[in-house]
Amino acid sequence: MEEWYTLVRNMKDQSTNGYRLEEFVKRVFHDLSRKKIKEKVKFRERMGPEFTAWSAGLEEEFAKPMVLEILNDDSFWVLTLKLAGGI
């Protein structure tokens, strides 16, 4: 988990709005740790209707450019999935 916090800290340092970024990444972690996913392989690959619906919901609450940038960050995505339950 320390590796994840370090990654998030580095992302916050590079961001213009670190507070909002931290809210977003915590939301992603929380969602992924509680979400029941039917098509895990597609979701892990950031594809399929489950991923699309989930990311669209995030874009309603958070800035779309930030959502796209962070969800497409491979190191963040892989580590978060691993820690959130191994989706």
pLDDT, one tens digit per residue, over 34-77 is 988 899 999 999 999 999 999 999 999 999 999 999 999 999 99
Closest CA to 27 of 67, 85, 73: 67
> Which 8-state DSSP code applies to residue 49?
H
Write down the pTM of the prediction: 0.88
Q: How many domains does one find in the chain?
A: 1
Across the range 9-24, mean pLDDT stands at: 91
What are the backbone angles phi and psi of residue 16, rounded to the nearest 5°?
-80, -20
Structure tokens belonging to residue 17: 């709005």
Q: How far apart are CA 51 and CA 80, in angstroms?
A: 15
Which domain range does residue 56 map to? 2-83
Contact in structure between 30 and 58 (CB atoms under 8 Å) = no
Secondary structure of residue 36 in the 3-state scheme: coil
